[in-house]
Amino acid sequence: MKTEVQTALALLAALATSSAHAAAPTVAMNSHLPTSAELSMISQAGVSAVRMDFNWLSFQPARGTFTWAHLDQAVNTARANGLLIFPSVGYTPKWASSLPTCNDASTDKAQQCLNKPPANVADWTNAVTAVVNRYKGQVLCWGIWNEPNLKGFFDGSEDDFVNKIFLPAAAAIRAADPTAKICGPELAGVGLSSDWNGKNGTCVFGQCIRNGWEIDLAHMLDRLGPQIDIITQHAYEGTADAVMHKLLDGETTAGVLVHDSIRHVIDTHGGAGKEFWLTETGWALPPGNYTEADVATRIVDLYAKHRQYADGGKRCAPAPTRAAPTIRGRCGPAPSTSTTRATRTATTASSGPTACRAWPTGR
């Protein structure tokens, strides 16, 4: 069966939340569990870091049994290729799931194992301790779970994520490696599709604005801020300009602010001055929405626009208007595959006359 392979980038140090200029971006690549050949290509492309899945269900398939060969291979090969490593730790094995009858082969997310909170939080923290002890000193930053505001990745509430996943994992990481950095909250940049706050915000006749990721991120920063060293967020849009607008300007429709900017949410919820990484963005390769040339152009454009912003320069871009504020996150985890991380992106693109203006430097 032909697999749809799509790009998913990360721009590390992607914006400044309180200073006049941002740091120059470092380009990273998302890959579930990259092969040696993939890591070689990632390195040859000039990418500096790789975000990969350290799936609990894979490295501890049974209680008391740890399997490290697959992660050792990926980590050692990445380092041999000069790549920094950003692991994303998460996904519950069946034996530890809070739903004993779960089945990951089910297409019903409510019946799957990997997205469930653990029945015993100590099982989770023991797993985090073990993986940190094995790879400490080799990791750029530790990510805790992936897109927990989507039920396909985490079938639990905000309280469940805070109290059963993030805070226990953060404590385990700090205990195992006091020098480690923690990245988060790794949320999907979705509106109505958010299972936490998609239907909250300002809503009329089932349509909402100022909802979804904007509320999700604010809540997580309020509750987890002191434990987060580097703030992260995912954002998929049709063009590089649209991604930068989401980061810096906010999203508007007919003059109405549909979503505030990621930067403003961070600044107003205790994150001003902290480093920020855009840890997922990208465009679909064929047979997805774009040609390879389209994807390459967008990647270079996004990097160039951020370099302009980081240097305090100007950009030419259309106003941030759109037909509908819909953004989608990753299609799903691939715990047992080595293909490049799959993503889906919105197909809306800005159009119309452009006007040069300086990147905003503060709110």
Helix then strand then coil, % of the chain, to nearest 5: 30, 20, 50
Over residues 140-169, mean pLDDT: 98
Residue 350 pLDDT class (50, 70, 90 cuts): very low
Other C-beta atoms closer than 10 Å to the C-beta of 84 total 18
Residue 307 vs residue 196, higher pLDDT: 196
Is the model's pLDDT at 271 over the cut of 90? Answer: yes
The confidence score (pLDDT) of residue 224 equals 98
CB contact set of 291 (below 8 Å; sequence gap of 6+): none
Which token pair is 248? 């810096």
Is the model's pLDDT at 187 over the cut of 50? Answer: yes
Over residues 165-170, mean pLDDT: 98
Residue 7 vs residue 334, higher pLDDT: 7
Percentage of the chain with pLDDT > 90?
66
Predicted TM-score (pTM) of the model is 0.83
CA distances from 235 to 4, 127, 238, 279 (A): 20, 29, 10, 8
Residue 360 vs residue 11, higher pLDDT: 11
The confidence score (pLDDT) of residue 14 equals 53
The confidence score (pLDDT) of residue 327 equals 25
Q: How far apart are CA 267 and CA 211, in angstroms?
A: 18
Is the model's pLDDT at 20 over the cut of 80? Answer: no
* Contact of 72 with 44, CB cutoff 8 Å: no
Q: Phi/psi class of residue 147: alpha, beta or left (left: φ > 0; alpha: ψ in -120 to 50)?
A: left
The confidence score (pLDDT) of residue 67 equals 98
The confidence score (pLDDT) of residue 11 equals 64
| Torsion sign across C-alpha atoms 20, 182, 159, 326 | positive
Residue 313 pLDDT class (50, 70, 90 cuts): low
Is the model's pLDDT at 162 over the cut of 90? Answer: yes
CB contact set of 103 (below 8 Å; sequence gap of 6+): 94, 111, 112, 113
* Mean pLDDT estimate for the chain: 83
The confidence score (pLDDT) of residue 198 equals 95
* Contact of 324 with 212, CB cutoff 8 Å: no
Domains of the chain: 9-358 (3.20.20)
